[in-house]
Amino acid sequence: MHIEVIATICEARSDEFLHKTVIVVDVLRATSTIITALMNGCKGVVPVETVIKAKELAREGDLLGGERYCKKIPGFDFGNSPLEYSREAVQGKRVILTTTNGTRGIQKATKADRVLAGALINAKAVAEAAIDLKRDTVIVCAGTQDVFSLEDGICAGLILDEIAAILGESQMMTNDFGLAMRGSYLEAKDRLLATLLACTNGKKMKKSGFLADVELCAKVNTTDCVPVLEHDQMVLYQR
């Protein structure tokens, strides 16, 4: 199985996703939020690029979620904190979500056979789903404003490590960037929270009052929930 890791959304080429599985990773915070919402009974998360599109798609009973530069969008029900997407808030509801980076990455991956959402909290489960789909795989690190974000790379490294643990080292091949990110994960795995808090986004999250978000997003394999894009929305992947 070949897994390519791409550092940022702007480096991704949509045509290269044909006949492949794509895992979009935005640890802080979009994919962690999508995973949490579906884990808590949300019936679907519709990822869109713009605020205008989110408002256009919203129907009666839907919830609007999103942020720009870490701040909740005025008039929306939620921001982009996974802690907002509790079972009481989202169960049985559809969420229309727009974020600065992660939802843009999902939209860019729509030519793939399957698009999955990955984060530290579901790394093993998303690795298992990628293996189950039996396709070459691309892990797209969302980054921030087209700049690489270390937390996404570390998560990609963890997913690679989980795939290697399941298939065996000889059956898992990756590109040079993937090798570097797996090494970064292995070096940081015993101090993930401290590493995330040292990253640019982690520092920004803490300064903005979202330390609890970073603490949640830094946990590994706390859920087996894997979001998959079906038509226009992320729903739970069923093996």
Ranges of each domain in the chain: 2-229
By the 8 A CB rule, do 181 and 154 touch? yes
Residue 1, Cβ neighbours under 10 Å: how many? Answer: 17
The pLDDT assigned to 239 comes to 83
The pLDDT assigned to 70 comes to 86
- Which segments in the chain show pLDDT lower than 70? none
The pLDDT assigned to 14 comes to 87
The three-class DSSP label of residue 36 is helix
Average pLDDT of the chain is 97
By the 8 A CB rule, do 15 and 109 touch? no
- Rounded Cα–Cα distance for residues 86 and 159 (Å): 26
CATH architecture entry for 2-229: Alpha-Beta Complex (3.90)
pLDDT in tens, 191-229: 999 999 999 999 999 999 999 999 999 999 999 999 999
The three-class DSSP label of residue 145 is coil
